Structure 1
Amino acid sequence: MDFLWQENAGGRRGPKKALTLESIADAAIAVADAEGLAAVSMQRVAADVGFTKMALYRYLPGKAELVAVMLERAMGEPPVLSPEDWRAALTRWSEALISVFVGHPWAIEASTGSRPVGPNELRWMEAALAVLPGGLTGAERMDTIAVVAGLVRALVVQPAESGLITAITEHADRFPAISAALADMAVHGGQDQAFRFGLARLLDGLETLITQRV
């Protein structure tokens, strides 16, 4: 994991630092944004930056580490949050996180499972935890961030509503509850609000829990 924590990390061998982790990550991100994470390989990225595959191994042990650097680069610094209004702060944090995942859909897969974790990802967690009010245990504070991030991730990968409408139009009689909900939306609106609705209800529950303990 040291490669994620070194400032201006360069190659581990060789007389000249012709590349940087940032330039390598940017090239890999361009591939993943256009073609998905599966298209990223040390060979492909090396070719795109004009070097040999072996040259990249001076900077990174392999693809897993390359993906970790990509995620660090894609996430960047977290938003600056005001602790004065924890609900507004968590909402802003969630909106910024959803922008990362929408802009780089491969980041969902890249941030799953056992993997190296870098400073930017921890800065995001630190920023969210720092604005939570008192009244929560350490475990509850960590769980709050996990649940909020989970909501963001779930809604990013949710099927597009247009596909749902197309399917139900042809089979409305088989799914009356879905048809009724969509019909109501057509009259009263409210579509495309799952993120804000879900986050607001989650924060409502958290606020109730905190208030009960005061």
Structure 2
Amino acid sequence: MRLDFLWDGRAQPTRGPKPALSLKHIADAGIAIADAEGLGAVTMQRVADDLGFTKMSLYRYVAGKAELVALMVERAIGEPPDISTTGWRVGLKEWAHHLLAAYLRHTWTLEALLGPRPVGPNELGWMERAVSILTATNLTGSERLDAIAVLAGHARSIAQQSMVGRQPEEDIAAMIGEQLRRHGDRFPALVATMATAATDGGHDQAFEFGLERILDGLDILITQRAR
């Protein structure tokens, strides 16, 4: 697999009929399948069929499924967001929200981003945007990268939880509640906490809560080092 094809595009075929496909069309076809049926449903044959071409014609543009998925990811996450604020905290918060939104639009990217893969300009652009936000702080290079990794990991975790859907989450909560009604004497702290949570209106705030705590930690480190 070529590692730079996401940057310069695969050279167009010089033999045969005039190319009728483009990397954009191929990526969009793969994304449509993955959005509807999951990444496992994406194959070279399926994409070719949906485009109305033969599988062999697809190989004139992408070398195989690994290259196809990398192309899909690059197009799905898109270019990094414009962050206009000059404050690092507000900027990182906005960046994290944009990242979560990108994951939720195409949840299959959570699987596709695992493991070694070609990295394109869009993915590096997201990293560049976040690192730039932290440039004016007193964090070291390693700390900036670690901070971004923690924020991205938090966004991934919340996006993964959302993949099960609202109804299964409610079903699990109902089952937990039933077991606590039967065996609540063994879990008094959990019973009390869930009873309080039912009335304080703080449900479904895990992303915002975790994001603020991560930023709080960075704020403490930056402030202490400044002193």
**Which TM class, normalised by the smaller chain length?**
over 0.9
1:167 aligns with 2:175: yes
Task: Indicate which of 188, 210, 213 corresponds to 2:222.
Answer: 210
Deviation, structure 1 residue 45? 0.2
Check whether the contact 1:72–1:120 (CA below 8 A) recurs between aligned residues.
yes
Inter-partner Cα distance in structure 1 for 2:69 and 2:178: 42
Task: Indicate which of 180, 204, 215 corresponds to 1:192.
Answer: 204
Residue identity in the other structure for 2:93: T
Inter-partner Cα distance in structure 1 for 2:100 and 2:215: 17
Match of 2:7 in 1: 5
Deviation, structure 1 residue 12? 3.7
Check whether the contact 2:100–2:155 (CA below 8 A) recurs between aligned residues.
yes
Check whether the contact 1:71–1:110 (CA below 8 A) recurs between aligned residues.
yes
Mapping of residues 112-127 of structure 1, within 5 Å: 112-127=114-129
Deviation, structure 1 residue 100? 1.1
Task: Indicate which of 135, 143, 150 corresponds to 1:147.
Answer: 150
Inter-partner Cα distance in structure 2 for 1:102 and 1:36: 13
Mapping of residues 83-162 of structure 1, within 5 Å: 83-132=85-134, 133-158=136-161, 161-162=169-170
After superposition, the Cα gap between the structure-2 partners of 1:179 and 1:22, relative to the gap in structure 1 and judged at 3 Å, is farther
Task: Indicate which of 18, 21, 34 corresponds to 2:20.
Answer: 18
Percent of aligned pairs sharing the same letter: 55
Residue identity in the other structure for 1:102: L
Deviation, structure 1 residue 179? 3.3
Check whether the contact 1:11–1:19 (CA below 8 A) recurs between aligned residues.
no
Check whether the contact 1:13–1:58 (CA below 8 A) recurs between aligned residues.
no
Structure 1 residues 44-53 or 166-175, which shifts more?
A: 166-175
Deviation, structure 1 residue 16? 1.5
Higher radius of gyration, 1 or 2: 2
Aligned length: 213
Deviations 1:117-172 (A, max 9, x none): 10000000000110113211111111111110000001111265413312212211
Deviation, structure 1 residue 181? 2.5
- Stretches (4+) displaced over 2 A: 9-15, 158-161, 173-182
Inter-partner Cα distance in structure 2 for 1:170 and 1:32: 36
Check whether the contact 2:44–2:58 (CA below 8 A) recurs between aligned residues.
yes
Task: Indicate which of 29, 32, 35 corresponds to 2:31.
Answer: 29
Deviation, structure 1 residue 11? 3.4
Check whether the contact 2:4–2:118 (CA below 8 A) recurs between aligned residues.
no
Deviation, structure 1 residue 191? 0.7
Deviations 1:39-83 (A, max 9, x none): 000000000001111111111111111110100111111111135
Compute the RMSD of aligned alpha carbons. 1.6
After superposition, the Cα gap between the structure-2 partners of 1:36 and 1:178, relative to the gap in structure 1 and judged at 3 Å, is farther
Structure 2, unmatched stretches of 5+, are none
Q: Please state whether the residue corresponding to 1:90 is helix, strand or coil.
A: helix
Deviation, structure 1 residue 13? 4.7
Mapping of residues 29-108 of structure 1, within 5 Å: 29-108=31-110
**TM-score calculated relative to the size of structure 1:** 0.94
